[in-house]
Amino acid sequence: MNPTTTIAVRAARAAGRVISRYSERLDAIKIETKKRNDFVSEVDRAAEREIISTIRAAFPDHAIIAEESGVHKGNDYQWIIDPLDGTTNYLHGFPQYAVSIALRFRGELTVAVVYDPSRDELFHASKGEGAYLDDRRIRVTQKKGLEGALLGTGIPFRDLTHADAYFGMMRDLIVDTAGVRRPGSAALDFAYVAAGRLDGFWELGLAPWDFAAGALLVKEAGGMVTDIAGGERYLESGNVLAGGPHLHHFLVDRVKPYLNENLTF
């Protein structure tokens, strides 16, 4: 593990300790509504402070974009942070949430860490060095098509602009697959694709901090990540497809009838 990834792991574990400590008193946590169906808690903010403090101690000149505190200016290195992906799950005691930390250098993702404190599972990757679950190398599955594939997704719940297109995609993907799962944490969904627990994943309207780390995990595990039309602008659009190299092409073809200029831009 290179030194930069080591710092990301340290920051993720520090945030995980905060999250676990608060989980013992969920009924006392202060919660605010950012917008419809979008919540932030004192846990999110406390975990984010731990991450930023750890990164700043090692790399004071690096830039940061964090879900709760926004943009912190710096040099060409930019950390992309979601301190608690799956806040709604967490607040309900539903154990599917994670810390997500990625590093981007001049537009290219170079480090990824997704940490699940409830299971103490650490997914990490460094560009060109593969993807790992703790100390074990992980790989995407080699599904040749949709038959028997298990897919992950995220159902639109904040912005319903593309709901019709999304549910059309879901209907057509369910037909030939083993099923679709919606656990509620995109960071973990991507990590599960990288680890072969899911064969593929798609979602519309994600923010960069939701899946920047997950995208590098999938790529380093031998998979493909694109925007919904099969292009490279997934971090910009937030409309994303991920999966093994063979399955990915089938996903692109299956969602194609539901694309429009607002989804592909």
Q: In the predicted model, what is the mean pLDDT of residues 66-81?
A: 92
**Residue 38 annotated as binding site:** no
Phi, psi of 130 (to 5 degrees): 85, 175
SS3 102: strand
Mean pLDDT of the chain: 90
Confidence of residue 141 (pLDDT cuts 50, 70, 90): very high
Q: Where are the domains of the chain?
A: 3-136, 150-264
Contact 86, 44 (CB under 8 A): no
Give one DSSP letter per residue of 185-230, joined into a string: -HHHHHHHHHHTSSSEEEESS--HHHHHHHHHHHHHTT-EEEETTS
Contact 103, 78 (CB under 8 A): yes
CATH architecture for segment(s) 150-264: 3-Layer(aba) Sandwich (3.40)
Q: For 118-138, what is each residue's pLDDT tens digit?
A: 999 999 999 999 999 999 999
Give the integer Cα–Cα distance in Å for 22 and 217.
28
For position 67, what pLDDT does the model report?
Answer: 86
Helix 208-220 to helix 186-195 angle (10° resolution) is: 0
What distance, in Å, lies between the first and last C-alpha atoms of the chain?
37
- Of the candidates 199, 206, 202, the one whose C-alpha atom is nearest the C-alpha of residue 221 is 199
Give the integer Cα–Cα distance in Å for 187 and 115.
9
For residue 38, pLDDT over 50 is answered with: no
**Residue 82 annotated as binding site:** yes
Is the model more confident about 210 or about 159? 210
**Residue 85 annotated as binding site:** yes
Give, for 83, the enclosing helix (H) or strand (E).
strand 77-85
Phi, psi of 48 (to 5 degrees): -65, -40
Q: For 180-223, what is each residue's pLDDT tens digit?
A: 999 999 999 999 999 999 999 999 999 999 999 999 999 999 99
For position 108, what pLDDT does the model report?
Answer: 95
Phi, psi of 17 (to 5 degrees): -65, -40
Q: Does domain 3-136 have CATH number 3.30.70.20?
A: no
Give the integer Cα–Cα distance in Å for 186 and 37.
16
**Residue 67 annotated as binding site:** yes
- For residue 53, the 8-state DSSP code is H
Phi, psi of 114 (to 5 degrees): -125, 120
CA within 13 Å, CB half, 20: 12
Give the integer Cα–Cα distance in Å for 115 and 117.
6
Amino acid at 141: T
CA within 13 Å, CB half, 247: 28
